[in-house]
Amino acid sequence: MTNHIVLFEPLMPSNTGNIARTCAATDTVLDLIYPLGFRTDDKSLKRAGLDYWHSVNIVYHDDLEAFLATVPDKKYLYLITKFSDEIYTDRDFSETAKDHYFLFGKETTGLPETFMRENTDKCLRIPMTDKVRALNLSNSAAIVLFEALRQQSFVNLEKKHIYDHDKLK
């Protein structure tokens, strides 16, 4: 089982860098769908990801259709959008024998409207007030990913940190 954070045409290198760091920390695949609003050798992208780039499994896709062709079971594809009645915590992500794909839209325009209308059963949202247009992309990815990981009992992740209490003094 692998979790995937999928970014549709991301524009901001700092968001993608932060998401890459989260992917490295959780052994999550980062799927990037072209076109990107930056080059992957961008300084701000590298700065946000720091020295974790070698630990991130990044898969590039030419377009949305090419990405969808790589998803073996569309049942485990989730579109994260503010245009949904279903909240992300209401969905069961616990199936550990399958890959889960969390697809996030472009920072400015989200996912293509036609695509979302064709896949309303896959749309999930993060509850929030009406005081802001949307949450930051990297925050949204972390929120949804960690709910999935929680439901999967944080499989393959360190659940207990062992440290020397004397070093804290």
Q: Quick count: other Cβ atoms within 10 Å of Cβ 62?
A: 10
Q: Amino acid identity of 128?
A: M
Query: Is 143 annotated to bind ligand?
Result: no
* DSSP bridge pairs for 29: 4
Closest CA to 70 of 31, 18, 19, 109: 31
Query: Is 105 annotated to bind ligand?
Result: yes
Cα 142–Cα 123–Cα 130 angle in degrees, nearest 5:
70
Query: Is 33 annotated to bind ligand?
Result: no
Q: Token pair for residue 26?
A: 């959780």
Q: Amino acid identity of 37?
A: G
Length of the chain: 169
Closest CA to 2 of 109, 149, 136, 131: 149
- Annotated binding-site ranges: 80, 105, 126
- Annotated binding-site ranges for S-adenosyl-L-methionine: 80, 105, 126
